[in-house]
Structure 1
Amino acid sequence: MTQSSKQTPLPAGYRLAEYTIVRQLSVGGFSVVYLALDDDDRKFAIKEYLPRNLAERKQDCAITVPHELDRDAFNLGLKCFFEEGRVLSGISHPAVVRVSNFFRANQTVYMVMEYADGRSLGRELELVGGRMEERLIRKWFAALLSGLREVHSQRLLHLDIKPANIYLRRSGVPLLLDFGASRQTLSRKDKHFAAMYTPGFAAPEQYEKDQPLGPWTDIYGIGACLYVCMGGETPQAARERREQDLLVPASQAFRCQYSRELTTLCDRCLTLEPNLRPASVLEIQKILQQTEYSQPERLSAGEGNRLVGWIKGLAGGRHKEGQE
C-alpha cells in the first residue's frame, strides 16, 4: 500500500473494531463497502466513508486529506454520512437495510449493516429476461414501499432508488439498500462533490440545485423501477425528457402485458412535474395491494407490430443503468 493510494481498500484480515474484513464488496465516489465477520462469524456489510476526490489512505490504513483546502468539504461529508447512519440505526423494518452500529476509526466513519443473502432486482431481471410477472411486481414493491414510508417518516430520503439498490433476499423479502441522500446533499452544498445520480432513475429536480427534494423525488425512482420491471429498458433520462420527451408511456407500451392500473400508476410516478405525481408512497402502496384489477388489453397484429417498432426505435439511444 502506498502513500498515494486513494481508494485502496482495507486488506483482507484487517481488524476493524470487533470486525474482521473479508473482502471489498463495492466502491463508489463516496464510500467503500466491505464484507466483514464479527467475533461470532456473523456476516456484515461495512461502509467506509472515503470520498475519492478529497481523501486517500495512508500506509497505516488511516484516512488523510492531502489538501487543507479540502478539509471543510471532507468534514461536511463525514457529518452527513454519520447523520445518515444515525437515522438508519433507529429504523427497524424488514424492507430497509438495518444499521446495527456506526463508529469512528482510521480518521473516518464506518457504518455496519446487515448482510443479506440473495440478489439485486437488476440481476433478477436479467435472469427472467427483463420482464417480471405483475403479481411479483405488486408483491415486492408493496413490501418495499412499506419500508420507504418508514424512511420518509424519519425525514430521510433515499434519492437513489434503482434495481441495483433493491435487494431480493432468498426468502423473497425485498430490501432497500445504499441510500444516496447524503451524497445528494453534499453535491448541492459543496462543489467538491460531483452530482451523483443514475440517469433514467433520477428525478428531474435532482439535476437542479435550487429545486426542492422530497418524497416525490423517491416516487419518481419507484416509477422508473416499475417501468424497467415491465419492459426491461431503462427509461429516458429526465434531463433529456425536459428537452424532448421520447419516453413511451407505460400505459401504451405495456398495456398488452400488464393491467391498466399498474401501467397508469407507473406513468403518474414518472411525471416530470413533482406536483402531478402520486401524493404519497402510501397511495402507491394501496394501488399495488389491490387484489382485483383489469386484464391486459389485446392488440390487433398491425397495432402490435407498430408498437414494437416504435419502442425498439426509441430504445436505441437510451442510457443504460449506471452511477455517474
Structure 2
Amino acid sequence: MAKRCMGCMEEFQEDFHYCPKCGYEDGAPPKEAYHMKPGSMLKGRYIVGRVLGFGSFGVTYIGYDTVLNHKVAIKEYLPGEFATRMPEQQALTVYSGEREEQFEAGMEKFLEEARRLANFKTEQGIVHIYDCLEENYTAYIVMEFLEGETLKEKLDREGKIGVDEAVRILLDVLKALQAVHEVGIIHRDIAPDNIYITKNGTVKVLDFGAARYATSHHSKSLSVIVKQGYTPIEQYRSRGDQGPWTDVYAAAATFYKMVTGETPEDSMERAVKDTLKPISKYVHIKKSVETAVMNAMNVQIDGRTKSAKQFADELRAAEVKRVIVKEKKADTGRWSLGMKIIVAVCAIAVGIALAAAAVAQFTTAGPAVAEIPEGQVRVPNLVNQERETAIELGRQAQLNVQIYDKQYSNEITADRVLSQETREGTLVALNGTLRVVISAGIEKTYVPDFTGMEREDVEAMLLDVGLVGVFTESEGLTPPGTVVSQGIEADTQVDTGTELPLEISLGVEGGDSSISVTVPDLTERDYEEAAQEMIGDYIYLARTTEYSDTVPRGQIISQDPAPGTQIHQTETISVVVSDGREMVHVPDIQYKSEDEAISLLEENGLTGERHEEYSDNVAAGTVTRQETAAGESVEKGSTVVYYVSLGPEPVRQQAPTRQTQPRTQAPQTAAPQTQPQTPAPTPAPTTAAPTTQAPPPTTENPVERDLNNLLKWQ
C-alpha cells in the first residue's frame, strides 16, 4: 500500500522508511518545537507536511489538497512575539493582555491581504491564493506550490547574473508590483529572498504585504522586513511616506545585486554620505538602463522613480535623463519679520528672567542653533563645484581643501568635486582639512579594430571595453559572418556605453566552387588592397592581427595556404596582418594614491618615474600630476613621469636674531672692582588698589542690542 511523503507529497511504498524521491525520513519530527507536526490536517482537507521556511511572522509548510489532489503551500500566521505552540499541541497559545489584541489585529491583516491577493489569479508574477481559513486559534493561507529556487539561492550559487537576464527578471517583478500597487497594496520587502524563479523560468514575487502583519509599536519583527541594502530610507521611519516608490527602490537595489554581485550600501548610510558605485564600474551595461536603475535608487523620494510602470518604461527607453536631487539644507534662519519679532520678544523675556535669577548672562547675538564654538567652523557643500572654486570656497570657510582621489561619474562632469569626506554643516576645527574626491567624468574607452572578427568574438570584446554594438548586415569583402566595417574608427576614445555601428558581411554574390584559383603571394602586401584584389576571384581573406616591430601596420605578415596552392572560389585564405609596434594608452593616475598609480601603470605595460613636490591642495602620498597626458598613445614599456604630493610645504621658522649690545668703551677713570658684583634686588610686585570706578557706560542697552541682532537675521 502506498503512503504519502511529508517531504515532497509524492506517494511511495509503505515499507520504505525514506522517500526514494526526496530522501525525507518517514515520521521525522518538526524542525522546531513550535512547528506543526507533519501529517496534521487542516479543515479536514489539507495535509500539512515539512517546513519550507519560517520567520518572525509565520511558518510555511508544503501541503497537499486531498480534494483537488495537488500540492500546495500552506502559510501559518505565527508571530513569535505574540504567540507560540506548545510541544505536541496543534493549537497556538496566544499571549494575554495587549499582545493578544496585537495578535488578533495582525491576523486580520494577514487574512485581509490574502483575500485581496486572491483576486490576482490571472497575474503570472503573483503566487496564486487558493484558500484562507481560521483554525488552531490562528489563520492559514493555502497557495500555489512552487518548484524552483529563490533569486537569493541563485545568486548564492552563481554570484551574479547577466544584465539581459536581470532586466527580464526585474521587468517581471515590476509587472507584478504594478498590478498590486493599483489596488493599494505595497510589498515593503522586495529582496532576492522574496523573488522566486520556477523551473520553467517564471518569476514570482513572494510574501506580499509582510510589513502589514507587524502591529506592535515596539515590534522586534521590524528587523525581518528591514533588509540592509534593499530597504529605502522612509521604511526606517515609523511614519515614513511609503508608497509604490518604496517597492521601486527595493526592486532597483535587487537589480544592482543581481548584476554586480554586491549588496548596495544601506539607504541610511547613503543619506549621510552617498558613495554608491555606478553599475558600470562593475559590468558593461547600457547607459539608459543604468540611469533608469540609479534614478529608482535615489535616496530621497523627491528624486526617485515614482511607480513600477515608470521604472519599467525607463528600462525599455532608448534614453533616460538622470535625476539628481540636491540635498535639502537646514533652515539657517530666513524668517519672516513677524516671526523675528516674536522670537526677539521671547528672547528678551528669557534674557531678563535669566539675569534676574543670576543663572546666565544674555549675550547671544543670534539663535542658539546658529552658534559656532570658538575655534570651529561649519563645512561648506563643495559637491559639483569646479576644482578651483571648491578650493576658494574652502579658503573662505577657513578650511584647507585637499584632493585625495579621482573617480568616474556619470552625473558630475570632469574636474568638479564628486564627493567630500566630511558632510556639509558639520562643525570642524578652524583651519582644518576637508578631503574631497574629484570627478573624472564618464569613464572613457577606446574603440578596437573589429574588422574581420566573427560576431561572437565581437560581442565578447564589446562587453570587455564597455561598448554597445549595433549590428546590421550587408555585402562585403570579408568572409560571411565577420565584421566588414565599423561606424567609429579604431583607437578612437569614446564614453563607455557608446553605441558602435557594425556591419556584418554577407559576402558577395556569385562565385563558382568548382572553379580553381591559384593562391598568390600576399605577404608584404597591404591588407585592404589584397582583399579587394582577391574578392575579384571570389576569394575571402580571413584577417587576424599581431604586433610587429619590423612590419608596418596594415601589411600582411603571413598567409595560409602558401602561395601556389590551388583553392576554389568562395573559399578563404587566412592572413596575419601587422598591427605595428604595440601601443598602449596612458592611464589617468592624477589624484590616485601612489600604490594605485603604480598598479594602473603596470596593468597597461608601463613603468613610472617618481618625483616629489609640495602641494597645498593634494593630499600627501597622492599623485599631483603626470607629464604624459592621460589617454596618450605610447609604446608599451614606456616610462611615465609622475609627481607625488608631500603635502603643504612646511613653514620655515626664522632663527631668532641675537641682539648685540653696543660696545661702550670703559671709562678711563674707573677703578678696578675688588668685590664681586651682586645683582640688584628685584623690587617686590606692586598690586594696584581695586578700583571703585564703574566701567564706561555702554552706548546701547544689551537687551536692545540683542533685539537688533535678532532682527538682522537673514
What TM-score comes out, normalization by structure 2 length?
A: 0.39
Is this contact kept in 2: 1:95–1:143, CA < 8 A? yes
CA RMSD of aligned residues (A): 2.7
Which one of 268, 277, 283 corresponds to residue 310 of structure 2? 283
Match of 1:94 in 2: 124
1:62 aligned counterpart, secondary structure: coil
Give the partner amino acid of 1:112: V
C-alpha distance in 1, partners of 2:247/2:239? 17
Alignment of 1:103-252 (within 5 A): 103-128=133-158, 130-179=159-208, 181-184=209-212, 186-187=214-215, 190-192=217-219, 194-195=221-222, 196-250=225-279, 252=280
Give the partner amino acid of 2:56: G
C-alpha distance in 1, partners of 2:65/2:586? 60
Give the partner amino acid of 1:269: A
> How much identity, in percent, do the aligned residues show?
28
C-alpha distance in 2, partners of 1:279/1:81? 26
Alignment of 1:256-275 (within 5 A): 256-275=283-302
Instruction: Report the CA distance shift for 1:79/1:133 in structure 2 as closer, same or farther (over 3 A).
Output: same
C-alpha distance in 1, partners of 2:131/2:46? 11
C-alpha distance in 1, partners of 2:213/2:110? 10
Match of 1:15 in 2: 41
C-alpha distance in 1, partners of 2:314/2:111? 35
Which one of 93, 96, 114 corresponds to residue 64 of structure 1? 93
Instruction: Report the CA distance shift for 1:265/1:44 in structure 2 as closer, same or farther (over 3 A).
Output: same
C-alpha distance in 2, partners of 1:283/1:291? 14
2:271 aligned counterpart, secondary structure: helix
Q: Describe the superposition over 1:111-144 as per-residue Cα deviations: whole angstroms up to 9, x where unpaired.
A: 111011111112222333x232222122222122
Instruction: Report the CA distance shift for 1:207/1:301 in structure 2 as closer, same or farther (over 3 A).
Output: farther
Give the partner amino acid of 2:81: N
Instruction: Report the CA distance shift for 1:264/1:108 in structure 2 as closer, same or farther (over 3 A).
Output: same
Asked which structure has the greater RCO (Cα within 8 Å, sep 6+), the reply is 1
Instruction: Report the CA distance shift for 1:177/1:7 in structure 2 as closer, same or farther (over 3 A).
Output: farther
Q: CA deviation at 1:193?
A: 5.2
C-alpha distance in 2, partners of 1:276/1:283? 13
Which one of 295, 298, 315 corresponds to residue 468 of structure 2? 295
C-alpha distance in 1, partners of 2:110/2:37? 23
C-alpha distance in 2, partners of 1:22/1:210? 39
Q: CA deviation at 1:54?
A: 0.9
Q: CA deviation at 1:160?
A: 0.4
Match of 2:58 in 1: 31
Q: CA deviation at 1:289?
A: 3.7
Give the partner amino acid of 2:146: A
What TM-score comes out, normalization by structure 1 length?
A: 0.84
1:126 aligned counterpart, secondary structure: helix
Instruction: Report the CA distance shift for 1:97/1:23 in structure 2 as closer, same or farther (over 3 A).
Output: same
C-alpha distance in 2, partners of 1:12/1:303? 64
Instruction: Report the CA distance shift for 1:13/1:90 in structure 2 as closer, same or farther (over 3 A).
Output: same
C-alpha distance in 1, partners of 2:228/2:35? 27
Between Structure 1 and Structure 2, the one with more strand by share is 2
Which one of 62, 71, 75 corresponds to residue 47 of structure 1? 75
Is this contact kept in 2: 1:165–1:178, CA < 8 A? yes
Is this contact kept in 1: 2:132–2:140, CA < 8 A? yes
Is this contact kept in 2: 1:141–1:288, CA < 8 A? no
Instruction: Report the CA distance shift for 1:43/1:106 in structure 2 as closer, same or farther (over 3 A).
Output: same
Q: Which runs of 5+ in 2 are unaligned?
A: 1-31, 321-466, 470-495, 499-584, 597-714
Deviates more, 1:54-63 or 1:147-156: 54-63
Instruction: Report the CA distance shift for 1:301/1:295 in structure 2 as closer, same or farther (over 3 A).
Output: farther
C-alpha distance in 2, partners of 1:103/1:38? 14
Is this contact kept in 2: 1:228–1:235, CA < 8 A? yes
Is this contact kept in 2: 1:142–1:289, CA < 8 A? no
Is this contact kept in 1: 2:191–2:254, CA < 8 A? yes
Instruction: Report the CA distance shift for 1:138/1:194 in structure 2 as closer, same or farther (over 3 A).
Output: closer
Q: CA deviation at 1:279?
A: 2.7
Is this contact kept in 1: 2:106–2:212, CA < 8 A? no
Give the partner amino acid of 1:208: R
C-alpha distance in 1, partners of 2:33/2:226? 20
Q: Describe the superposition over 1:140-175 as per-residue Cα deviations: whole angstroms up to 9, x where unpaired.
A: 221221111111111101110011111111111100
C-alpha distance in 2, partners of 1:44/1:303? 59
C-alpha distance in 2, partners of 1:8/1:301? 65
Q: CA deviation at 1:63?
A: 1.2
Is this contact kept in 2: 1:202–1:237, CA < 8 A? yes
Q: CA deviation at 1:272?
A: 0.7
C-alpha distance in 2, partners of 1:288/1:145? 11
Match of 2:343 in 1: none
2:214 aligned counterpart, secondary structure: helix
Is this contact kept in 1: 2:118–2:129, CA < 8 A? yes
Is this contact kept in 1: 2:90–2:136, CA < 8 A? yes
Match of 1:79 in 2: 108
Deviates more, 1:102-111 or 1:170-179: 170-179
Q: Describe the superposition over 1:208-259 as per-residue Cα deviations: whole angstroms up to 9, x where unpaired.
A: 0121210000000011011101210111111222233232133x524x5111
C-alpha distance in 2, partners of 1:281/1:12? 40
Give the partner amino acid of 1:24: V
Instruction: Report the CA distance shift for 1:253/1:7 in structure 2 as closer, same or farther (over 3 A).
Output: farther
1:112 aligned counterpart, secondary structure: strand
C-alpha distance in 2, partners of 1:301/1:115? 57
- The count of residues paired between Structure 1 and Structure 2 equals 297
2:149 aligned counterpart, secondary structure: strand
Give the partner amino acid of 1:29: S
1:113 aligned counterpart, secondary structure: strand
Answer with 1 or 2: which has the greater Rg: 2
Instruction: Report the CA distance shift for 1:291/1:244 in structure 2 as closer, same or farther (over 3 A).
Output: closer
Is this contact kept in 2: 1:139–1:289, CA < 8 A? no
Is this contact kept in 2: 1:84–1:182, CA < 8 A? no
Q: CA deviation at 1:204?
A: 0.4
